[in-house]
Amino acid sequence: MKILFLGDIVSKVGRDIIFTYLDKIKEEEGIDFTVVNGENSAHGKGITHKIYERFKSWGIDAITLGNHAFSKKEIIDHLDECPDLIVPYNYPSGRENRQRVYEINGLRLCVANILGSAFMMENTMSAFEAMEEILYKYDADLYLVDLHAEATAEKILFGHHFSKQLIATLGTHTHVQTADERLIDGMAYISDVGMNGVYDSIIGRDIEEMERAMIKGEKTRFTLGEGPGILCAVVVTVDEQTKRATAIKRLQIRPENVV
Ligand code: FE2
């Protein structure tokens, strides 16, 4: 079994680059199941019902979220119509923090989404406690986790701690792809899958505006970067007999003619 996981999709540029390459990647890699992190897919923050529907029409099976899960408030009214939208288990609002179990090739795959604790939202249950609860509540053969977190040390510790129980711990949120993909005890691990969004940007936002905000302390609005996109993803291979991961392959497509 091969699972494609695409990192944080940021804005229209991120959506477009996925649309451009998705079918080709799925065909070339022989993908059985596709997950994307869609928490920033609507103009850099949140997701809308329309974008969810579009992702589904492209053949995306599950959409994970993060700290910006409900930044576009309209999605809250449509949650019942979006069964494949996975809300972080420890999102601190008391909303329906659902995870999903899918049947693929006769195996039950639990796709889970958890927020990290370090430098993230306040009042979240720890990622470790959240994972223990998910393992208890959701019966499955395989568990894949989108660990939406800032700190690499927290993610690496989580990976080692749960390596024997999961088939994949895939980091998201920093928007910067790390080159530390590896197997730990038959679990695929990467600290961050990376961003699908504008290549020349500050994790998706306009560079000049971020300079004015960070260096000069100016009050700015949320302006997205413009220009060609970068695609970041991983492919996880799972042995269906042993129910363990046997490979993790990092994908990155940068725009041509950009130095
Ligand atoms: Fe995030």
Find the 46 Cα to ligand 1 centroid distance in Å. Answer: 9
Average pLDDT taken over every residue of the chain: 95
- DSSP output for 115-182: E-STTS-TTPPPHHHHHHHHHHHS--SEEEEEEE-S-HHHHHHHHHHHTTT-SEEEEESS----S--E
Query: Which stretch of 94-103, 111-120, 221-230 has the lowest confidence by average pLDDT?
Result: 94-103
For residue range 6-34, list pLDDT tens digits in order. Answer: 999 999 999 999 999 999 999 999 999 99
Find the 69 Cα to ligand 1 centroid distance in Å. Answer: 8
Task: Judge if pTM exceeds 0.85.
Answer: yes
Please determine, for residue 207, whether its predicted confidence score (pLDDT) is greater than 70. Answer: yes
Token readout for 147 is 């660990």
Amino acid identity of 21?
A: Y
Q: Please give the positions annotated as active site.
A: 68
Question: What superfamily in CATH does domain 2-253 come from?
Answer: Metallo-dependent phosphatases (3.60.21.10)
Find the 253 Cα to ligand 1 centroid distance in Å. Answer: 21
Find the 143 Cα to ligand 1 centroid distance in Å. Answer: 21
Helix, strand, coil percentages, rounded to 5, for the chain: 25, 30, 45
Q: Which residues contact 62 (CB under 8 A, 6 or more apart)?
A: 33, 34, 35, 36, 84, 86, 100, 102, 111
Find the 44 Cα to ligand 1 centroid distance in Å. Answer: 10
What does the pLDDT read at residue 122?
80
Find the 115 Cα to ligand 1 centroid distance in Å. Answer: 9
What does the pLDDT read at residue 222?
84
Query: Which stretch of 88-102, 188-202, 243-257 has the lowest confidence by average pLDDT?
Result: 88-102
Residue 60, number of CB atoms within 10 A of its CB = 21
Residue 133, number of CB atoms within 10 A of its CB = 16
Would you list the domain boundaries of the chain? 2-253
* Mean pLDDT calculated for residue range 60-73: 94
Please determine, for residue 96, whether its predicted confidence score (pLDDT) is greater than 70. Answer: no
Find the 8 Cα to ligand 1 centroid distance in Å. Answer: 8
Find the 106 Cα to ligand 1 centroid distance in Å. Answer: 33
Residues within 5 Å of ion ligand 1, judged at the Cβ atom: 66-67, 173
**Model confidence band, residue 257 (pLDDT cutoffs 50, 70, 90):** low
Please determine, for residue 258, whether its predicted confidence score (pLDDT) is greater than 70. Answer: no
